[in-house]
Amino acid sequence: MNGDETAGAMVEGEDTSLLIVEDDKPFLTRLARAMETRGFVVE
């Protein structure tokens, strides 16, 4: 995948939950926002 394909990628299927475990708070926040934009429910 190139950058254009990745930017438009959306989650498909029934389970859209995502658990992110990260000790770098700024990175965690940014990653969570990015995954929510792609259709995941971040916990």
Place of tokens 């475990």: 21
Tokens of residue 24, six digits: 């770098």
Give the Å distances, CA to CA, from 39 to 23, 24, 28, 43.
23, 22, 17, 13
Query: Which residue range forms the structural domain that includes residue 32?
Result: 3-42
Q: Write down the pLDDT at residue 4.
A: 55
Query: What's the domain count of the chain?
Result: 1
**Cα distance between residue 38 and residue 11, in whole Å:** 6
pLDDT in tens, 1-43: 455 555 556 667 788 888 888 999 999 999 999 999 998 888 7
